[in-house]
Structure 1
Amino acid sequence: MNADIIRRYGESRLPRYTSYPTAPRFSTSIGAGTYRDWLMSIPQNDPVSLYLHVPFCRSMCWYCGCHTTITQKDAPILDYLTILKQEIRSVGKAMGGRQSVSDIHFGGGTPTIMTPTEFLDLTATLAATFGISSATEVAIEIDPRTLTLEMAEALGEAGITRASLGVQSFDPKVQKAINRIQSAEQTATALYHLRKAGAKSVNFDLIYGLPHQTVESAIETARVAAAMRPDRFAVFGYAHVPSFKKHQRLIDAAALGDAHERHAQAEAIAIALCEAGYRRIGLDHFALPEDTLSIAADNQTLHRNFQGYTTDNASTLIGFGSSAIGRFAEGYAQNDVAIGRYANLISSGELATSKGYRLTLEDRIRGWIIERLMCDFQLDFGAMPEGFELSHESIGEANSRLRTLVEEGIVSWRGDVLRVETEHRFLVRTVASCFDAYLGETGRTHATAA
């Protein structure tokens, strides 16, 4: 690998492109009234996806980039769940019918911070409001350190089909530096209980670029985790943005590796997982060959949303909870981030939308291009959907940023097909950014490209 390319491109800060435009482009021009109109316009025969945000944890992991609150008391969680159920009923009423649901995702925070009874009550509210069937995929994010047997059994009773377990690193030195002590035994026990409860697919999250992390410790973590045989892995680069996430100031920046070290760790993890029988999917996911994520990648039907790579192809995503983002044909709508303001709006009978974005045709075109590049590492401009056209300045020789990547050998043209070269796929976000019309406008700090 060209060290100069890693240095110049790997240290640039770019969006992860889980949406386009990205969240910093959202504005307060989109409010509750617009959101209600969008809910009412969803075609009744189109299945939707649901995302529920539970923003509570028992302790703070210092690397965390999520919207979450630390609480040792149960009362704030119970109050929040009451409001969350009220929001579910309000949204269902605005939609005017029991819309069928293809996918549900519980994120956070730690969604399993609620008790089994509370979780089953929440899922009962969803079932009473939406059309949920045995075919609905239900996924949840889990902290293995706090998952109880009773909660695992409740997840099975609720029909959970997929679970994502945070692992990050098994290196004790790294764990101490990020305030997350978690043994391999705890992780294996959680996996066992989830399998027994009926989870068909389990994902492990790993992170590279953490303080004191080395190539050797990254490989060891990958090997130990792979021996447990989860169906998928998501392998993310740590994004150190202490100006945005104040608790990250507790991490010693001097203990973080540079772009070369981060790239070496990422590639070492990838090699270890591939040697263990996993297939590389997109930028940062790995899956067993028989997993639906692998099949979607083969068929070029992979998608990318706020949870990363997914097989979910619903055109509408409805977000519930503070900070949750919904995606509609017309654009994006985000709930108020502050739990108090979110709760006050919902309890007063309002929807909690505080900002969003209305898509233009050009946004849809650029979003489609970026998603296909992120998922397939190539794009046939001659096979774009009908009505999708971009000016000459956006593609081909007139796109100066893209032209530079061609000259560097990072991408190549083969007729109308733009391809990211295999050895440079870790820079796919750099390639995607060539089609981002808003790059650099907001001043928001993003993660490094490698």
Structure 2
Amino acid sequence: MSNTPSIRSGIAVPRYTSYPTAPHFSDRVDAGTYASWLSEINPGDALSLYLHLPFCDRLCWFCGCHTKQVRRYDPIADYLEALHVEIETVAGHIGRKQKVGAIHFGGGSPTMINPADLVRLRAQLDTVFDVLRSCEISVEVDPNDITEDRLDAWAAFGVTRASFGVQDFDARVQQSINRLQSFEQTKEALDGFRARGVTSVNLDVLYGLPHQTEDTLAATIEKVVALSPDRVALFGYAHVPWMKKHQSMIDESWLPDASARFAQAALGANLLTHAGYLPVGIDHFALPEDDLAKASRANTLRRNFQGYTTDQAQVLIGLGASSISSLPQGYVQCVTATHDYSRRALAGELPVARGYKLTSADRARGWIIENLMCRFGFSAAQLRTLFPAEADALLAQAALLAAADKDGHVRYADSHFKVTEAGRPFVRVVASGFDAFLGTSSARHSAAV
């Protein structure tokens, strides 16, 4: 990563975990649309599941997720009853015990689920789906929730990968984001999963946090490396208080400016690569033998709502409030409010709030953007093969972007559009050049770096 900041680092653009992005979904896609799409899933395909638990026992001020704080377990128990019914309803519309090759638990804090409820949830999934023996099962872990019983329950569920949000181990930074989590807590929970056979661990680190400096980030990464995770995600903190009101608890004067953020991102990347991690995409790092690094080398890396992934499934079913499903026909998002979600799910409805039906032009632009985000370029010949009707216009657009580039960030030659090494930190900005929706709504986004 270049150590020279650019004006592009402060440009606000989407993170491109989908195209079009969620602000452009609408209620024109409803439960009837979703039911039709579910019935059209190929019987022989293995799909992926994302289960969302929108509860935490504390509200971290930096968080951009759909979640809320609870002090009792009752709301979680009630929500899980609705989730059970939604799982059955979705499977009913598919019409068979579809194979499942990957399950991801996100939140909120899914590790708040009690062991007995986790046993029931696995039984429900096994009843209505064919969960493959090779299924990758991952969970986002809050070490503050972990007990020996919960570790045993997640191991019995079949978890293969545990993901820990570290953010920054510096006490002042943690206090400023209301996320107190010591290195010792993290290590104890991580060791607990490993002792139960979980062989893949990834840690999330943030830069751009309040009171964060290059020194605090360097100290955090040193501790992260000492834990020997298989993967590390180095994300830029997205300060979006207009979307997440609790982020207004963070005084903007505490935040590093664009130049400092860029320096932190560069430092973090350098420290991780020097520790033996290979860069994957724009913000992930993996040990050479990790599947994510292998996928990057083999040009099979994908990007979905969970970020970079090795998952090749054509169908990702989101279950739970605010979750998003991705199908060949388009995207579907569940209602966000847990009360409305539970009411509709318990009534046997598909609790759909909105979505988007893809056109051929959307698919072509989405293919370009995913290739830029995963491989920093795309082949004109492959674009013409996959999307012949759209190729000429999009290649003309690529030529214009390359001609207008004065920073040496992109190059279009020999039938290949490529983001240069200097341009890689700004690939989200480059990708936005192919986004036909950008600027067509009031949606606001976070800084590119």
TM above 0.5, yes or no, is yes
Distance 1:9 1:296 in 2: 28
Distance 2:214 2:334 in 1: 40
Q: So what's the TM-score if we normalise by structure 2?
A: 0.97
Counterpart for residue 194 of structure 1: 193
Counterpart for residue 22 of structure 2: 23
Counterpart for residue 439 of structure 1: 438
Counterpart for residue 83 of structure 1: 82
Q: After superposition, what is the alpha-carbon deviation per residue over 1:195-229, rounded to whole angstroms, capped at 9, x for unaligned? A: 11221211101000000100111111011101110
Q: Give secondary structure in 1 for the equivalent of 2:82.
A: helix
Counterpart for residue 12 of structure 1: 11
Counterpart for residue 219 of structure 2: 220
Distance 2:249 2:80 in 1: 31
Q: Give secondary structure in 1 for the equivalent of 2:130.
A: coil
Q: Give secondary structure in 1 for the equivalent of 2:222.
A: helix
Distance 2:398 2:154 in 1: 53
Distance 2:207 2:183 in 1: 17
- Contact 1:397/1:403 (8 A) holds in 2: no
Counterpart for residue 422 of structure 1: 421
Q: So what's the TM-score if we normalise by structure 1?
A: 0.97
Distance 2:372 2:203 in 1: 24
Q: Partner amino acid for 2:29?
A: I
- Is 1:283–2:313 an aligned residue pair? no
CA shift at 1:117, angstroms? 1.3
Distance 1:137 1:366 in 2: 29
Q: Partner amino acid for 2:403?
A: R
CA shift at 1:57, angstroms? 0.0
Counterpart for residue 330 of structure 2: 331
Distance 2:420 2:139 in 1: 34
Distance 2:402 2:163 in 1: 36
Q: After superposition, what is the alpha-carbon deviation per residue over 1:396-443, rounded to whole angstroms, capped at 9, x for unaligned? A: 4676444323x3200112311111111221101011111111111122
Distance 1:272 1:385 in 2: 40
- Contact 1:219/1:269 (8 A) holds in 2: yes
Counterpart for residue 271 of structure 1: 270
Map 1:150-161 onto structure 2 (within 5 A).
Answer: 150-161=149-160
CA shift at 1:394, angstroms? 3.0
Q: Against the structure 1 CA distance between its residues 398 and 90, is the aligned structure 2 distance closer, same or farther, given a 3 Å change threshold? A: closer
Q: Give secondary structure in 1 for the equivalent of 2:38.
A: helix
Distance 1:43 1:228 in 2: 41
- Contact 2:2/2:266 (8 A) holds in 1: no
Counterpart for residue 403 of structure 2: 403
Distance 1:335 1:275 in 2: 42
- Is 1:240–2:226 an aligned residue pair? no
Q: Partner amino acid for 1:328?
A: L
CA shift at 1:7, angstroms? 4.2
Q: Partner amino acid for 1:394?
A: L
Distance 2:186 2:351 in 1: 36
Question: Is 176-185 or 409-418 further displaced after alignment?
Answer: 409-418
**CA RMSD between the two structures:** 1.5
Distance 1:15 1:341 in 2: 28
Counterpart for residue 394 of structure 2: 394
Distance 2:241 2:158 in 1: 38
Q: After superposition, what is the alpha-carbon deviation per residue over 1:107-130, rounded to whole angstroms, capped at 9, x for unaligned? A: 010001111111121111111110
Q: Against the structure 1 CA distance between its residues 195 and 34, is the aligned structure 2 distance closer, same or farther, given a 3 Å change threshold? A: same
Counterpart for residue 314 of structure 1: 313
Q: Partner amino acid for 2:55?
A: F
Q: Give secondary structure in 2 for the equivalent of 1:53.
A: strand
Distance 1:87 1:397 in 2: 43
CA shift at 1:87, angstroms? 0.4
Counterpart for residue 250 of structure 2: 251
Q: Give secondary structure in 2 for the equivalent of 1:350.
A: coil
Distance 1:17 1:224 in 2: 30
Q: Partner amino acid for 1:404?
A: A
Question: Is 134-143 or 375-384 further displaced after alignment?
Answer: 375-384
Identical pairs, percent = 46
- Contact 2:325/2:333 (8 A) holds in 1: yes
Distance 1:319 1:213 in 2: 34
| Runs of 5+ consecutive residues of structure 2 not aligned to the other structure | none
Q: After superposition, what is the alpha-carbon deviation per residue over 1:64-104, rounded to whole angstroms, capped at 9, x for unaligned? A: 00000100011100000000001001111111100001111
- Is 1:108–2:107 an aligned residue pair? yes
Q: After superposition, what is the alpha-carbon deviation per residue over 1:49-72, rounded to whole angstroms, capped at 9, x for unaligned? A: 000000000000000000001000
Q: Partner amino acid for 2:364?
A: I
Q: After superposition, what is the alpha-carbon deviation per residue over 1:175-198, rounded to whole angstroms, capped at 9, x for unaligned? A: 010001111111111110011122
Q: Partner amino acid for 1:403?
A: A
Q: Partner amino acid for 1:8?
A: I
Counterpart for residue 173 of structure 1: 172
| Runs of 5+ consecutive residues of structure 1 not aligned to the other structure | none
Distance 1:173 1:207 in 2: 14
Q: Give secondary structure in 2 for the equivalent of 1:395.
A: helix
Q: Partner amino acid for 2:94?
A: M
Q: Against the structure 1 CA distance between its residues 75 and 385, is the aligned structure 2 distance closer, same or farther, given a 3 Å change threshold? A: farther
- Contact 2:2/2:422 (8 A) holds in 1: no
The total of aligned residue pairs comes to 448
Distance 1:2 1:187 in 2: 32
Counterpart for residue 57 of structure 1: 56
- Contact 2:384/2:391 (8 A) holds in 1: no
- Contact 2:402/2:411 (8 A) holds in 1: no
Distance 1:35 1:441 in 2: 25
Q: Partner amino acid for 1:78?
A: A
Counterpart for residue 37 of structure 2: 38
Counterpart for residue 123 of structure 2: 124
Q: Give secondary structure in 2 for the equivalent of 1:163.
A: strand
Distance 1:270 1:408 in 2: 21
